[in-house]
Chain A
């Protein structure tokens, strides 16, 4: 994803009032990780109204299922979102993964409970906390997730030491 596109994508979600929490690599980066990610992962509310808002926000960017055959019919709307849970999408702006649940935490409510607001491109966006990310990465347990743990724990330790001083 181009650096300019991440702003457009977040703005589309924000302007439409989509309820979402930034998770995954982008959340780690926002907390200061040196990890590099090329996509955006978000956890979204499964409330009916939010599914409509999410579909409306993504409509201009021609979202399709990443890696699926080009002739496979797919239309991102509230009904298709309702019938699934986690979607790996490719859009005109770049790759976007949307999750109804975060492994190790639970649904959107749980992600919200483990979120904090950060100002990104002038928008107040919910971002999974370091504690939430650590729980998630431990639960997912793939090599690439476990490799990130020492850095996330170091960032948490820095934050704690800064709060004390």
Chain B
């Protein structure tokens, strides 16, 4: 990847710490509004999954 050739020491360190730089570059290609909208859409999906899990567990108890 072209970007990996330009990694600064700070970015190399981040990568070693497990940061997926491709995720960050992807988000930086979006506008701040897009970043915020997609975040809350994801949070909403997580919340729906959490509720579905709760319903499933409640159903198994009966």
Contact = CB atoms under 8 A, between A and B. Distances in A.
A2 B40 CA distance: 6
B47 to A, nearest CB: 7
A154 B14 CA distance: 6
Interface in A11-53: 26, 29-30, 32-34, 36-38
B5 interface: no
A34 B36 contact: no
Nearest to A29: B39
Interface in A120-156: 120-122, 127, 150-151, 153-156
Interface residues of A, number: 30
B49 interface: no
A1 B37 CA distance: 11
Interface of B: 6, 8, 10-11, 14, 17-21, 23-25, 27-28, 31-33, 35-44, 46-47
21 contacts: A3-B44, A6-B37, A6-B40, A26-B39, A29-B35, A29-B39, A34-B24, A37-B39, A38-B43, A119-B32, A120-B33, A150-B14, A150-B18, A151-B19, A153-B14, A154-B14, A155-B28, A158-B11, A158-B21, A158-B25, A158-B28
